[in-house]
Amino acid sequence: MTAGPAPLPLPASGRETQGHRIRRAARWVLAPITGGAIFVALWWALTDSVHPGGFIGRFSFLHTLAALRGLVLEREIWPHVAASLRRITAGLVLSIAVGLPLGCAVGALPLFAAVTAPVFQFIRMVSPLSWTPLAIMVFGVGDAPVLFLLVVAGVWPIVLATSSAVASLDGRLVTVGRVLGGGSWEIARTIVWPAVRPQILTGIRVSIGVAWVILVPAEMLGVDSGLGYFILSTRDRLAYSDLMAAIVIVGVLGFALDTLARAALADRIRAG
């Protein structure tokens, strides 16, 4: 995760003046806009300006912008966007369903953690895309192998975050809860979950990012929809402007997913 701009220092009085708030807000708004403008300028300079008529010119910013407008207005891209979002949602749900109990077992049971550590570390270090041939042979074509690859990629951040949170839980808090007469469910709801929630939610956010990165190449094999399939189709059709437009859409959607996850999970962390 990339840290944002450092906050401006408060006045000597310790109170934030209205002018200081305006300058800080302007800095937070202008900084990303400036970075985006520099990126677009470099893209334009390297394609539209330096090689306007060459092969690189086919990936130009102006051509990509026109293609992006056409894809969005003609709604050609929307079914593929919907398919990718549906798969990433299903993959995240399955990753949470597998990762949470597995992480709890690793964090709460030292013997289980010791026995499974070599296997888990081995599987975690294998690139999820390495499982593609096996996934296709076992699950065939369609959504099933894609979901398998998403789970293989997205489950480990949740397992690691959950196991770390559970292992670091102060057992004295649970003891106090029992002394005060709390039942198992009440202790889990009021003591255990608030203590482990921040790390678990951070792991879920990381899982979303990892799964989104894996989704596009996974959709290039065995499916007939999704952003990965669309990118592969544009390559085969030599529609380079559409290809670049699809890549832009992938980046925008990934940024939006991370922003939404960060905002939603941060609110829940603060609420705890």
Residue 188 DSSP label: I
The string of DSSP codes covering 106-139 is: HHH-HHHHHHHHHHHHHHHHS-GGGGHHHHHHHH
CATH match of 78-271 with 3.40.50.720: no
Q: Output the pTM of the full model.
A: 0.77
**Measured between alpha carbons, how far is 236 from 234 in angstroms, rounded to an integer?**
5
Q: Is the pLDDT of residue 154 over 90?
A: yes
Q: Print burial letters for 64-102: b (CB count within 10 Å at least 16), e (below 16).
A: bbebbeebeeeeebeebbebbbebbeebbebbbebbbeb
Tokens of 71: 């894809």
Give pLDDT tens digits for 65-105: 888 888 888 888 899 999 999 999 999 999 999 999 999 89
Q: Is the pLDDT of residue 263 over 70?
A: yes
Q: What angle do CA 107, 111, 114 make, to 5 degrees?
A: 80
- The total number of residues written for the chain in this structure: 272
pLDDT of residue 2: 45
Give pLDDT tens digits for 160-213: 999 998 888 777 777 777 777 767 677 777 777 778 888 888 899 899 999 999
CA torsion angle for 139, 145, 150, 152 (degrees, to 10)?
40
Task: Give yes or no for a contact between 43 and 57, defined as CB atoms under 8 angstroms apart.
Answer: no
Q: Residues 210, 261, 79, 39: is their CA dihedral positive or negative? A: negative
